[in-house]
Amino acid sequence: GGNCRASLGRIGLAARRSAGDVPEAVSPLTISSYFKWWYKKTRIEKKSAFIDLLCAVPLQQIYGCPLGGIGGGTITRGWRGEFCRWQLNPGKYHYETVITDQFTVCLRRKGQTVYQQVLSVEKPSALQGWNWGYCGRYAFYHALYPRAWMVYELPGQNVVLTCRQISPVIPHDYKDSSLPVGVFIWEVENNSEEPVDVSIMFTLQNGTGTKGDGSGGHWNEPFALQDGGERVTGVLLHHCTPINPFTFAVAAREKAGTVITHLTAFDPAGSGRDVWQDLLQDGKLESPIGKSKRTQKGEVTAAAVCASCMVPARGHGTLELALVWDMPRVHFGSKERLHLRRYTRFFGSNGDAAPALSHYALTHYKEWEKKIEAWQKPILEDSQLPSWYKSALFNELYFMTDGGTIWLDLPPDCLPQDLQGPGAAKLSHLLPVLREYGRFAYLEGQEYRMYNTYDVHFYASFALVMLWPKLQISLQYDIAVTVLNEDMQPRQYLVCGKTAQVKLKNVVPHDIGDPDDEPWQRVNAYLMHDTANWKDLNLKFVLQVYRDYYLTHDALYLQDMWPVCQAVMESELKFDTDNDGLIENGGTADQTYDAWVVNGASAYCGGLWLAAVRMMCEMAEVLGDAETQQKYGAILQKGKESFERLLWNGKYYNYDSSGSSTSSSIMSDQCAGQWFLGACGLDQKELEVFPKSHIVSALKTIFEKNVMSFAGGTMGAVNGMRPDGVPDTSSVQSSEVWVGVVYALAATMIQEGLVQEGFHTAEGCYRTVWENLGMAFQTPEAYCEKKVYRSLAYMRPLSIWSMQLALESKTRRPPSPTPTQKNPLHP
């Protein structure tokens, strides 16, 4: 994708667009209120903006598979092996390649070093004494998250190195998946006729490439930990940062025939000649004992660990290294509360866990590999599935950890009121769930710094509920609490300019807060619109509650969520202003398409509404609440009729019923309600909400117009298409493709039997993002036909897991809840 580098632009206030491209809807008034807000935030308060439209992160087409489990921080490596994207402070990203962080190989034959090379194609100005510039033609990179493989064919040496990078991201595992570790397993293949001594040296700089690396006070020490007959040694790199101090460990497993040596500290700002010569001499490092001195202000330091073994002629050897980071206690940006990461439950919170974590990682990675293989194998070996889909399905999962993700542990003595105010006391299983499984949050996007943005999580939630269902349940409990609470603080919203309170009671929040503030304590970091008026958020809560119950059979969860569902549906009912059983949009961009105005009855929100009403009936039946069942049953009858009358045009559902010049646009997401109904088995004939023939006709129209008549059918589905086959350019977002929406659309197509169409539609997005735009491991929210994109590394594309659910359901429908599970109140 390198050829796109210069020509890609961004959508937003800083977009490199010609003036003529700016949609009429972008009012100068809002732009000026954003600018005023931005100025106050960044220049006066000296904080960073939750969405910075004026200083966007530059696009770098360099990323590969990240390291680390869920919610302990992540370190992303590039596909050329560099350590280049850092998220150690929760939710805060730092994009910097730290050139010292490298693997170097040394080969020795007959007691002489014959080859010593940094395994990097770079030729940096730093560390001039090292042999840089490995020829990229001899290196190969493969990633299948959470694993990656780097193969190096050492030129002229008859030796092949394969590094397996593994992170403990294991479905249904709530312990090892939380660990802030990654391992590098180096397989050495000696294809020559003589033995060779092989050393792999791992060098790591203290810090993450920020100014803080030189803030002084950092220091290193060697360590060794023997437990259960296994010995792991390495170097600890301590960081004395004022906020969120942490320790790295670079470690290796000692075993018969393997020698581990180290250098406690070296100067990465110098030539690096001492380290190089040390290794060159005998393939080992000096291994001094004792701690290093603390760094002075302005000084940086680094450490090295080297694993060596002899590989016989035509033989094979293995060297096992690990990188661990221990930042157990974290403050968010407000610094108001101290939080413990999930893994502290197993490894303690004193900040001295790096040796134990290293030992655990190096003695458990084989188990992790087995579990990951057992999970991925049936999909990888399914010859019916195309290769691109296998890559997309697993690799898009990078966002589960690299979405600024945080996974916290709650202290056992935590009280409901410690959590989030009065709402907490009303949910009987809130505390047990959060105490057992912790608290989970991930960003809307690396560039959109809001946790658990709920209208978007609706799409991504399939990945969470299918792979870590307890985290989805925990997240839902957190949302439920905020529904019951309010925040009466007034504030001005940037788009409409009006002042209103931050959070109303009985409505679902937009997000759970900004990690640069105090998430959970202060929700709704988003201040573009007052989302109390959004039409989709409440419905998306109800839809997820039933979907989660259908997939998990968790009756206690259903029971706890039921009053909350009733409360948000009551709030939503006021949007049915003409009492026709269908809600109306308010003539603003009052839903997830937050720059695309919608007025009156709409396919998107109206469809979500009917699906939610249908699910209310289902839940009422399960819970034996006849009155509520009857109430929503009557609304459903009336609403279905209104929906068809107001929106069905014989081929598809109109965008909205306002009769505006774009009312008849074809929206790619018009079947979102059906998507959820189908995923929960509520689409059978006698239960159907939308006539099957209408859904199939709508999907076929979307395929013909939004997919095949857009970019030659090769870029997925444009959000809005005019019936004459020209994209709807009435708003910024109608002419965008949203990757996560496309994967959801593909899932809906599969559910409805349009399997070929579904795969073709989704393939367009995968190939555009991962191949043509070079945006591997940073899938954006949106792109346009002509080289414009928006919001890199985004949550919504995790919706690809709904394609997998649709495929699995076709062969094996999840068993229906048993009668007892179905009706916990009236067994």
Ligand X SMILES: C[C@H](CCC(=O)O)[C@H]1CC[C@H]2[C@@H]3CC[C@@H]4C[C@H](O[C@@H]5O[C@H](CO)[C@@H](O)[C@H](O)[C@H]5O)CC[C@]4(C)[C@H]3CC[C@]12C
Find the shortest distance in angstroms from Cβ 34 to ligand X.
6
Site string for ligand X, 237-276 (x = CB under 6 A): ----------------------------------------
Is 160 a residue that touches ligand X (CB under 6 A)?
Answer: no
Take residue 629 and report the two structure tokens written for it.
């069942």
Q: Report whether 651 contacts 697 (CB < 8 A).
A: yes
Among 7, 16, 27, 270, binds ligand X (CB under 6 A): 27
Residue (7 or 32) nearer to ligand X, CB: 32
Is 31 a residue that touches ligand X (CB under 6 A)?
Answer: yes
Is 797 a residue that touches ligand X (CB under 6 A)?
Answer: no
Residue (39 or 140) nearer to ligand X, CB: 39
Find the shortest distance in angstroms from Cβ 540 to ligand X.
11
Among 592, 665, 735, 761, binds ligand X (CB under 6 A): 592
Among 57, 595, 711, 755, binds ligand X (CB under 6 A): 595
DSSP-derived 3-state class of residue 765: helix
Q: Measured between alpha carbons, how far is 739 from 256 in angstroms, rounded to an integer?
A: 50
Site string for ligand X, 349-368 (x = CB under 6 A): --------------------
Is 30 a residue that touches ligand X (CB under 6 A)?
Answer: yes
Is 13 a residue that touches ligand X (CB under 6 A)?
Answer: yes
DSSP-derived 3-state class of residue 438: coil
Residue (54 or 259) nearer to ligand X, CB: 54
Is 514 a residue that touches ligand X (CB under 6 A)?
Answer: no
- Where does this chain touch ligand X (CB under 6 A) — which range of 23-31, 128-136, 269-277, 638-646? 23-31
Q: Report whether 221 contacts 235 (CB < 8 A).
A: yes
CA distances from 8 to 1, 128, 240, 773, 786 (A): 11, 34, 40, 9, 8
Find the shortest distance in angstroms from Cβ 526 to ligand X.
5
- Where does this chain touch ligand X (CB under 6 A) — which range of 64-72, 241-249, 253-261, 592-600? 592-600
Residue (41 or 390) nearer to ligand X, CB: 41
Residue (479 or 807) nearer to ligand X, CB: 479
Residue (343 or 575) nearer to ligand X, CB: 575
Residue (595 or 755) nearer to ligand X, CB: 595
Find the shortest distance in angstroms from Cβ 781 to ligand X.
5
Find the shortest distance in angstroms from Cβ 656 to ligand X.
16
Among 52, 153, 320, 455, binds ligand X (CB under 6 A): 455
- Where does this chain touch ligand X (CB under 6 A) — which range of 24-32, 179-187, 468-476, 599-607? 24-32
417 CB-contact burial (10 Å; exposed 0-12 / middle 13-18 / buried 19+): exposed
Take residue 597 and report the two structure tokens written for it.
């105005």
CA distances from 726 to 20, 218, 710, 711, 783 (A): 17, 59, 8, 11, 16
Q: Report whether 71 contacts 325 (CB < 8 A).
A: no
Is 732 a residue that touches ligand X (CB under 6 A)?
Answer: yes
Q: Measured between alpha carbons, how far is 243 from 337 in angstroms, rounded to an integer?
A: 12
Among 448, 643, 676, 703, binds ligand X (CB under 6 A): 448
Q: Report whether 200 contacts 105 (CB < 8 A).
A: yes
- Where does this chain touch ligand X (CB under 6 A) — which range of 39-47, 568-576, 591-599, 613-621? 591-599
Find the shortest distance in angstroms from Cβ 594 to ligand X.
5
- Where does this chain touch ligand X (CB under 6 A) — which range of 98-106, 300-308, 453-461, 810-818? 453-461
Residue (25 or 340) nearer to ligand X, CB: 25
Residue (410 or 495) nearer to ligand X, CB: 495
> What dihedral do alpha carbons 487, 490, 491, 493 form, nearest 10°?
80
Among 400, 456, 565, 805, binds ligand X (CB under 6 A): 456
Any alpha helices (H) in 224-269, and if so which ranges? none
Q: Report whether 201 contacts 106 (CB < 8 A).
A: yes
> Which residues 624-643 are close enough to bind ligand X by CB under 6 A?
none
Is 447 a residue that touches ligand X (CB under 6 A)?
Answer: no
- Give me the DSSP letters along 304-357: EEEEEEEE-TT-EEEEEEEEEEE--EE--TT--S-EEETTHHHH-SSS--HHHH
Take residue 561 and report the two structure tokens written for it.
């969520």
Q: Measured between alpha carbons, how far is 817 from 549 in angstroms, rounded to an integer?
A: 9
Take residue 2 and report the two structure tokens written for it.
């390198």
- Where does this chain touch ligand X (CB under 6 A) — which range of 20-28, 236-244, 331-339, 358-366? 20-28
State the DSSP H helix or E strand holding residue 743, giving kind and residue range, or none if neither.
Answer: helix 739-751
CB-nearest residue to ligand X: 27
Find the shortest distance in angstroms from Cβ 480 to ligand X.
19
Tell me phi and psi for residue 334, to 5 degrees.
-75, -20
Among 12, 91, 416, 720, binds ligand X (CB under 6 A): 12
Q: Measured between alpha carbons, how far is 639 from 580 in angstroms, rounded to an integer?
A: 6
How far, in whole angstroms, is CA 659 from its chain's centroid? 39
Find the shortest distance in angstroms from Cβ 50 to ligand X.
9
Is 444 a residue that touches ligand X (CB under 6 A)?
Answer: yes
CA distances from 379 to 242, 587, 750, 802 (A): 46, 44, 16, 14
Take residue 529 and report the two structure tokens written for it.
């619109």
Find the shortest distance in angstroms from Cβ 125 to ligand X.
37
Residue (559 or 799) nearer to ligand X, CB: 799
- Nearest CA to 84 among 332, 362, 402, 301? 402
Residue (690 or 794) nearer to ligand X, CB: 794
Is 121 a residue that touches ligand X (CB under 6 A)?
Answer: no
Is 219 a residue that touches ligand X (CB under 6 A)?
Answer: no
> Which residues 49-78 are close enough to bind ligand X by CB under 6 A?
51, 53
Per DSSP bridges, beta strands 788-790 and 9-10 are parallel
- Give me the DSSP letters along 29-54: HHHHHHHHHHHIIIIIS----SB-SS
Is 466 a residue that touches ligand X (CB under 6 A)?
Answer: no
Is 167 a residue that touches ligand X (CB under 6 A)?
Answer: no
Number of Cβ within 10 Å of residue 61's Cβ equals: 17
Find the shortest distance in angstroms from Cβ 25 to ligand X.
5
E strands along 736-816, which residues?
Answer: 737-738, 782-783, 788-790
Is 528 a residue that touches ligand X (CB under 6 A)?
Answer: yes
> If you compute the radius of gyration of the chain from its CA atoms, what whole number of angstroms results?
27
Q: How many residues bind ligand X (CB under 6 A)?
A: 23
Contact set with ligand X (CB under 6 A): 12-13, 25-27, 30-31, 34, 51, 53, 444, 448, 453, 455-456, 495, 526, 528, 592, 594-595, 732, 781
